[in-house]
Amino acid sequence: MSRVSPGKATTTRVKKRDPDRMTTAEANPGRLTSTEPDDSATTPPPGAAPDALTIGRRLRHVRQESGRTLGDVADAIGLSASALSLIENGKREPRLSVLTALAGALGVPLQDLLTTAAPTRRASLEIRLERAQRQPSYETLGLPKVKIGPRLPTEALEALVGMHEAMASAQADRAATPEHARRANAQLRERMRAADNYFGDIETEAGQLLAAIHHPGGPISRAAVDRLAGHLGYKLVHTSDLPGSTRTVTDLHNKRIYLPQPEAGQHDSRSLALHAVGHLVLGHRVPADYAEFLSQRVEINYFAAALLMPEGETVDFLRRAMREKDIAIEDLRDAYAVSYETAAHRFTNLATRHLGLPVHFMRISQDGVIYKAYENDGVQFPVDPLGAIEGQRVCRSWTARRVFEQPDLSQAFQAYTDTRSGTYWCTAVVDRTHDGLFAVNVGVPYQHVKWMRGRETTERSVSRCPDPSCCVQPPTGLAQRWTGQAWPSARVHSHLLAAMPPGVFPGVDDTEVYRFLERHAPAPEPV
């Protein structure tokens, strides 16, 4: 059932890699991530052919091991010594017939010359240095190339290779721009939409864990969360000195999950604990890239919601409401003692799969900036050229924006919106946080509104976005009065636009975490 991965404190090293290379479980609709080891960075793909540099170094190694000279071997196959030297130096790619002749002359199988592994550690260093010096980024520096030969000390070779690879790593870090994060977000949202935001494997894991502690149904208590952790061999520990850059810290060695004191923050401690448990149960590994990091975050959120609102009984609850044509997110929120946003997310997990309802969801700031969003009902969110929606601004006529204009922000607001992709009914509430006001919005296409509470609303608006004349461009008179006379200083949504922070775990102070674990580690048992 449950998989608990051994290791060190979980917080997540993310190697920045080509965002177009997806390592997640795209073929498995039950999960977003894979738990299989990813050794693609160190192991050539099956059938990969060696390059000219590797062939040349292997050829030189075999020739020198046999005690043959360059001229001797060249004469044996009817090749000039200079031509053979070019092959050994990786400057000429030999034909297969030439390699076959060389293998015969040296008395070795052809495969010995075609393997992708360097013959010695020094040969590996020479190959890496030669490749680095052939990179366009090095050539643009206008620096001379270091001649690679037997007179170059191994220590100098190691230093040069280390310097080149450190520079390449620094360039990769700088290349991990906001586009990297936005592209990863867009790809993740596409996979969620393809699965209707339902992941059966996670539902199964959550159901089995609840069965293991004999959960009777209904809202899950904090005591039940303790039992869940205990079932996995872990203890939940509240502490007042949790590192400020973390939400939780898991000590995998001593089997402890550290949480903030309940009064120290606004988060539901049940959710925080279940997120930490989710990493363990779902067998998460160290993410290979930012896309996998995001997928893991979505999975632990899904896992926590599946425990807080179990699939079977939640679907029964929604079906009863559907029979009454009275589905309301606030009822789901109240029935399971969760936040409105958690209830809304859970509704998107189950609505299409079990009720046949296409839906959309969004969380936006008061100024209309999208923080989270999902859709499988055809609604057209604003997107950037990479297909990402996070950080984009939604139309002023959408329900998620209009809710802020209502006199009573404590009540849900329902409205219809005519858009270029169709008419949608939406319900939205305002969420007050330390960071300001946010709107949480759930909507369905007009043809499915008959199942929803609040469908009788007379509120209606028209959105022509992305036509700039809808709400982006100011009215003509206002523009004529103020064009060229205003200079606003924009507030940058840095958390949406910045590249991923460096370090073992994104945005986490590693030293602070490890010192925290040292302080809280239990004393060793006396021998």
Q: What is the pLDDT of residues 64-96, one digit of tens each?
A: 888 999 899 999 999 999 999 999 888 888 889
In angstroms, what is the C-alpha Rg of the chain?
A: 30
| HSE value, Cβ hemisphere, 13 Å, CA-based, for 438 | 16
**The pLDDT value given to residue 524:** 79
Task: Mean pLDDT check: name the lowest of 153-162, 219-228, 472-481.
Answer: 472-481
**Quick one: fold of 326-473?**
Beta-Lactamase (3.30.450)
Give the single-character DSSP code of 289.
Answer: S
pLDDT at residue 501 above 50?
no
Residue by residue, DSSP assigns 55-96 as: HHHHHHHHHHHTT--HHHHHHHTT--HHHHHHHHTTSSPPPH
Task: Mean pLDDT check: name the lowest of 159-163, 230-234, 296-300, 385-389.
Answer: 385-389
Q: What is the pLDDT of residues 273-330, one digit of tens each?
A: 999 999 999 999 888 778 888 899 999 999 999 999 999 999 999 999 999 999 999 9
pLDDT at residue 7 above 50?
no
Stretch 121-150: mean pLDDT, rounded? 85
Close Cβ partners of 181 (under 8 Å, ≥ 6 residues apart): 290, 499, 500
**The pLDDT value given to residue 44:** 44
Distance CA 8, CA 203 (A): 27
Q: Which residue has the higher pLDDT, 62 or 39?
A: 62
Q: What is the pLDDT of residues 362-392, one digit of tens each?
A: 999 998 999 999 999 999 999 877 788 888 8
pLDDT at residue 19 above 90?
no
Tokens of 183: 């592209």
Distance CA 515, CA 513 (A): 5
Q: What is the mean pLDDT of the chain?
A: 84
Distance CA 204, CA 179 (A): 35
- Tallying the residues shown for the chain, one arrives at 527
Contact 77, 98 (CB under 8 A): yes
Stretch 92-117: mean pLDDT, rounded? 89
Domain range list for the chain: 326-473
Distance CA 518, CA 522 (A): 9
Q: In angstroms, how far is the first alpha carbon of the chain from the final one?
A: 35
Stretch 97-105: mean pLDDT, rounded? 90
Bridge-based pairing of strands 413-419 and 460-462 is parallel
pLDDT at residue 262 above 90?
no
pLDDT at residue 145 above 50?
yes
Q: How many CB atoms lie within 10 A of CB 451?
A: 19
In terms of Cα–Cα distance, which of 373, 404, 408, 401 is closest to 387? Answer: 373
Q: What is the pLDDT of residues 164-211, one digit of tens each?
A: 988 887 766 655 566 777 788 889 999 999 999 999 999 999 999 999
Q: Which residue has the higher pLDDT, 93 or 482?
A: 93
pTM of the predicted model as reported, rounded to 2 decimal places: 0.68
Distance CA 348, CA 173 (A): 35
The helix/strand/coil state of 137 is helix
pLDDT at residue 506 above 70?
no
The helix/strand/coil state of 169 is helix
The helix/strand/coil state of 493 is coil
| HSE value, Cβ hemisphere, 13 Å, CA-based, for 376 | 21
Consecutive H or E run containing 222: helix 222-231
Q: What's CA 494's distance to the chain center, in Å?
A: 18
Distance CA 190, CA 25 (A): 13
**The pLDDT value given to residue 493:** 55
Q: What's CA 418's distance to the chain center, in Å?
A: 34
Task: Mean pLDDT check: name the lowest of 66-80, 113-127, 131-145, 209-223.
Answer: 131-145
Torsion sign, CA atoms 491, 497, 499, 500 = positive
Is the peptide bond prior to 153 cis by the omega test (within 30 degrees of 0)? no
Contact 328, 454 (CB under 8 A): yes
Cα-flanking dihedrals φ and ψ of residue 426, to 5°?
A: -135, 150
Distance CA 119, CA 313 (A): 62
Close Cβ partners of 20 (under 8 Å, ≥ 6 residues apart): 183
Residue 501 one-letter amino acid: P
**The pLDDT value given to residue 291:** 84
- Please report which confidence band the pLDDT of residue 138 belongs to, taking 50, 70 and 90 as the band edges: confident
